[in-house]
Chain A
Amino acid sequence: MSKEMREPIESGCPDAWQYMHPVSRKNYGMWKYHEHPRPGVLKHVALSGDELWTVKAGTQRILDVFTLRKLCEIGEKYGDGYVHFTIRSNMEFLVADGNKVGPLIQALESAGFIVGGTQNSVAMISHTQGWLHCDIPGTDASGVVKSMMDELIDEFKQTNMPNRVHITTSCCQINCGGQGDIAINVQHTKPPKINHDLVANVCERPTVVARCPVAAIRPAMVNGKPSLEVDEKKCICCGACYPPCPPMQINDAEHSKLSIWVGGNHSNARGKPTFQKLVAAGIPNNPPRWPEATAIVKRILNTYKKDAKDWERIGEWIERIGWPRFFEMVDLPFTKYHIDTWRGARASLNASTHIRF
């Protein structure tokens, strides 16, 4: 390399103050209350009496520069030029003048963006990289999300759910999409297929052995070459060996399936935070529109919407009605696979005579 390399400026996390709406700067930490005038809009009022209005827009998350500039243009023409991104990749436009909200919404909607996602809506599905960019994906989260949001769009634009609904998708069991009221995750069902010719050169074998959660992998000589073998009776098909050892291919066009989990909630409101629980598996990984997974998600959502009481998240609703009624109402089978076998599983068993009839 002939050119002299430039030393980086290790500035780390930038100060947001310079990018923050002036009303936020003036009233930082001094807010009084908020209102929800309509779906997709929040009105925050400061102790000083200042108002800050938020218009939330759903996007495709994977933004091309044209779309990004279009959003900027709308933010400049109809807003104040200040935006905030939510954890679910929605763009929030912040304006000081409530009169700007109507024209801003109109501009966003006529450009094809979807205004909503506040309060008791089905929020934008948080998702992962998938086939577009990940090195270990079982599916394409962006495609699953696009397909599902097409069908859930009315629930994004309205706030008719008993409480907010956070949906996530993940392309492997690492679950980068995270916990959700509903999570759609890849679940492999066959052990990895090992290309023994490549293992010795590509994989650090002790690392791979150590990575297995159930100690099913051991070093072995195969065809005279150092490789790894999997005890397929022990293997739980989790795919943890695949990232450190790509020759242990876990993805399978037919046998990598989708599964659906419900009841994850990170908020401390009412009960303590909860992890999601398995309700459906064996769902075909069916691009480009994954209709089978969407159908189950919609069934769960519709039942929840009809049956849950105000403020119950999906997990709280099920806690009230009980799991037997949940499986009955959403018409999903209850199998031996729903009974946990992992460490701590005993705590999930019903050690009582509490049965609903």
Chain B
Amino acid sequence: MAIEKHNTPMLDQLEQGPWPSFISGIKRLRDQHPSERINRVTNDLLGQLEHSYETRKGYWKGGTVSVFSYGGGIIPRFSEVGHAFPESKEFHTLRVQPPAGNHYTTAMLRQMADSWEKYGSGLVTFHGQTGNIMFIGASTESTQGFFDEINEYGWDLGGAGPCVRTGMSCVGAARCEMSCVNEQKAHRLLLNRFTDDVHRPALPYKFKFKISGCPNDCQNAIERADFAIIGTWRDDMKVDQAEVKNYIAGYGRQYYIDNVVARCPTKAVVLKDDDTIEIKNRDCVRCMHCLNVMPKALRVGDDRGVTICMGGKRTLKIGDLMGTVIIPFKKLETEEDWDSLVEMGATVIDYWAENGLEHERCGEMIERIGLANFLEGVGIDPNPNMVSYPRQSSYIRLDKWDDAAEAWYEKRATA
């Protein structure tokens, strides 16, 4: 095969060292792949990347590319230096939604690889930071063919642009004893209720659902999701005293005093003289620490559900926002429970679509209008679990105080 390989002296240095090299992988596609198209595309990709390394600049520009009837799901990339690297001048990424919890059979991965090398560059990532499978490197013409092929066997595009984005959920109930919720069900019910909002960007900005099965929050939902669903429980933690004794016999009593008792944020763990543990469940904030240290001895309770935090996001535009508690506890057991979760998602998205400014995340809108106004807008009552502490500033009009206090008592009486 007669392709002229670009010299890549800087990239070549990334082939040294023990960690697997993505450059070696791209070179394998250039040198060993039977498709000459892939050889040429990856050769020019390496050429452009070397140029970036030399000049310390990126050379991709966005644009508009999608598949028939969708408005998003593809990250278009056109090269600014396409004259020098023509074979990779169109190098779009298709964002494809993963199965909830990121489970795959190797047979399915092979089937996707087979489809991808027919149309694209042969480069793929499981997964991007938004949670999508990223098929990196397709021309404008080939995106439709690739999508049609994988769409036939069960795969659909994810979100890109101002829309409901691809969801993320942890491995959860499929493997983990900490799981307090059917993460996969939450993930699929929510995402697939908003499929139209995923495929046709028409919201103020992005909106992300992420689901973690317990407060360890392995999906980083609280920091990154507009709507974070985090499993928790409200009855007593389960203690296996025999296993407690086994742990203490292993590492010693002092270790568990220093690392369990002393590290409990609410002093809710008591280690007794007979090496049994008492949990003060009314004080416990379900932080997970003691369960993480002693997973054989301590288990989550049976009355499980979720805490829902809203408004998490990274820097742009007003600075980082952590998601904050909107629903302290919600059961997800009956079909009505699940329906009301999806309904809540719809209510929040609708309210934000109506009231959010362009390019304003849900959390930024809440920051601008105040949490109390947001709660009123979406029909959720104030709850002391929503704040770290009540108002400190006296600069507030309180002339409707009596009505609000009365409403609180009325709600409590009917609860």
Q: How many residues of B contact A (CB 8 A)?
A: 132
B314 near A: Cβ within 8 Å? yes
Q: Which of A17, A18, A173, A251 contacts B57 (CB 8 A)?
A: A251
The smallest C-beta distance from A311 to any residue of chain B, in angstroms, reads: 6
Determine whether the beta carbon of A266 is less than 8 Å from that of B223: yes
Determine whether the beta carbon of A14 is less than 8 Å from that of B148: no
Determine whether the beta carbon of B123 is less than 8 Å from that of A64: yes
In the complex formed, the residue of A with least CB distance to B224 is: A178
Determine whether the beta carbon of A29 is less than 8 Å from that of B17: no
Determine whether the beta carbon of A271 is less than 8 Å from that of B265: yes
Determine whether the beta carbon of B22 is less than 8 Å from that of A269: no
B407 near A: Cβ within 8 Å? no
Q: Which of A60, A140, A289 contacts B49 (CB 8 A)?
A: A140
B60 near A: Cβ within 8 Å? yes
A328 near B: Cβ within 8 Å? no
A11 near B: Cβ within 8 Å? yes
B110 near A: Cβ within 8 Å? yes
Note all chain B residues with C-beta closer than 8 A to A19.
Answer: 99, 103-105, 108
- Report the Cα distance A243→B75, complex, angstroms: 13
B101 near A: Cβ within 8 Å? yes
In the complex formed, the residue of B with least CB distance to A271 is: B265
- The contact string, 1 if C-beta is below 8 Å from chain B, for chain A 332-357, is 00000000001110000000000000
Note all chain A residues with C-beta closer than 8 A to B174.
Answer: 16, 20-21, 24, 28, 84
In the complex formed, the residue of A with least CB distance to B220 is: A266
- The contact string, 1 if C-beta is below 8 Å from chain A, for chain B 89-125, is 0010100011111111111111001001100001111
Note all chain A residues with C-beta closer than 8 A to B24.
Answer: 60
In the complex formed, the residue of A with least CB distance to B131 is: A87
The smallest C-beta distance from A44 to any residue of chain B, in angstroms, reads: 5
CB within 8 Å for A273 and B67 given contacts A256-B56, A289-B14: no
Q: Which of A34, A251, A264 contacts B177 (CB 8 A)?
A: A34
Q: Which of A13, A81, A91 has the most CB of B within 10 A?
A: A13
Note all chain B residues with C-beta closer than 8 A to A131.
Answer: 49, 52-53, 57-59
Note all chain B residues with C-beta closer than 8 A to A326.
Answer: none
The smallest C-beta distance from B183 to any residue of chain A, in angstroms, reads: 10
The smallest C-beta distance from A50 to any residue of chain B, in angstroms, reads: 11
Determine whether the beta carbon of A33 is less than 8 Å from that of B295: yes
Q: Which of B56, B60, B148, B319 contacts A134 (CB 8 A)?
A: B60
Determine whether the beta carbon of A270 is less than 8 Å from that of B25: no
A133 near B: Cβ within 8 Å? yes
CB within 8 Å for A178 and B25 given contacts A9-B152, A28-B173: no
Give the interface segment out of A97-105, A143-151, A220-228, A300-308. A143-151
The smallest C-beta distance from A34 to any residue of chain B, in angstroms, reads: 6
Bin the interface of chain A by size: 35 or more
Determine whether the beta carbon of A253 is less than 8 Å from that of B56: yes
CB within 8 Å for A81 and B100 given contacts A174-B316, A269-B288: no
B308 near A: Cβ within 8 Å? no
Note all chain A residues with C-beta closer than 8 A to B288.
Answer: 267-269
Determine whether the beta carbon of A344 is less than 8 Å from that of B179: no
Note all chain A residues with C-beta closer than 8 A to B77.
Answer: 133, 135
A246 near B: Cβ within 8 Å? yes
Note all chain A residues with C-beta closer than 8 A to B322.
Answer: 273, 275
A118 near B: Cβ within 8 Å? no
Q: Which of B110, B117, B154, B217 contacts A14 (CB 8 A)?
A: B154
Note all chain B residues with C-beta closer than 8 A to A44.
Answer: 175-177
Note all chain B residues with C-beta closer than 8 A to A83.
Answer: 103-106, 109
B359 near A: Cβ within 8 Å? yes
A195 near B: Cβ within 8 Å? no
Which residues between 78 and 121 of chain A lie within 8 Å of chain B, taking CB atoms? 81-87, 89, 91, 94, 112-114
Q: Which of B126, B152, B317 contacts A89 (CB 8 A)?
A: B126
Determine whether the beta carbon of A33 is less than 8 Å from that of B49: no
Note all chain B residues with C-beta closer than 8 A to A38.
Answer: none
- Report the Cα distance A34→B16, complex, angstroms: 37
Determine whether the beta carbon of B125 is less than 8 Å from that of A84: no
CB within 8 Å for A269 and B287 given contacts A147-B14, A179-B220: yes
CB within 8 Å for A126 and B195 given contacts A13-B99, A269-B287, A288-B10: no
Note all chain B residues with C-beta closer than 8 A to A85.
Answer: 98, 102, 104, 126-127
Determine whether the beta carbon of B263 is less than 8 Å from that of A33: no
In the complex formed, the residue of A with least CB distance to B55 is: A253
A32 near B: Cβ within 8 Å? yes
A321 near B: Cβ within 8 Å? no
Q: Which of A66, A151, A344 contacts B319 (CB 8 A)?
A: A344
Determine whether the beta carbon of A65 is less than 8 Å from that of B124: yes
Determine whether the beta carbon of A65 is less than 8 Å from that of B29: yes
Determine whether the beta carbon of B192 is less than 8 Å from that of A12: yes
Note all chain A residues with C-beta closer than 8 A to B75.
Answer: 133
CB within 8 Å for A114 and B20 given contacts A6-B148, A10-B199: yes
Determine whether the beta carbon of A16 is less than 8 Å from that of B100: yes
Which residues between 171 and 188 of chain B lie within 8 Å of chain A, taking CB atoms? 171, 173-177, 179, 182, 184, 187-188
CB within 8 Å for A269 and B104 given contacts A34-B176, A58-B20, A69-B110: no
Determine whether the beta carbon of A6 is less than 8 Å from that of B68: yes
The smallest C-beta distance from A291 to any residue of chain B, in angstroms, reads: 11
B167 near A: Cβ within 8 Å? yes
- Report the Cα distance A263→B141, complex, angstroms: 45
B408 near A: Cβ within 8 Å? no
Which residues between 3 and 31 of chain B lie within 8 Å of chain A, taking CB atoms? 10-11, 13-14, 16-26, 28-29
In the complex formed, the residue of A with least CB distance to B11 is: A288
Note all chain B residues with C-beta closer than 8 A to A259.
Answer: none
B155 near A: Cβ within 8 Å? yes
Q: What are 21 A-B pairs with beta-carbon distances under 8 A? A: A7-B68, A8-B68, A14-B154, A16-B100, A21-B103, A21-B174, A31-B176, A44-B177, A62-B22, A66-B28, A66-B29, A84-B174, A86-B171, A133-B60, A147-B14, A147-B17, A179-B220, A210-B357, A253-B56, A271-B287, A273-B223
- Given A8-B147, A71-B109, 7 further pairs, Cβ under 8 A: A11-B155, A28-B174, A34-B177, A64-B29, A84-B171, A153-B18, A285-B56
Task: Give B residues with C-beta under 8 Å from A.
Answer: 10-11, 13-14, 16-26, 28-29, 32-33, 45, 49, 52-53, 55-62, 67-70, 75, 77, 91, 93, 97-110, 113, 116-117, 122-129, 136, 144, 147-148, 151-152, 154-156, 166-168, 170-171, 173-177, 179, 182, 184, 187-188, 191-192, 195-196, 198-199, 215-224, 230, 255, 258-259, 263-265, 285-289, 292-293, 295-296, 299, 314-320, 322, 357-359
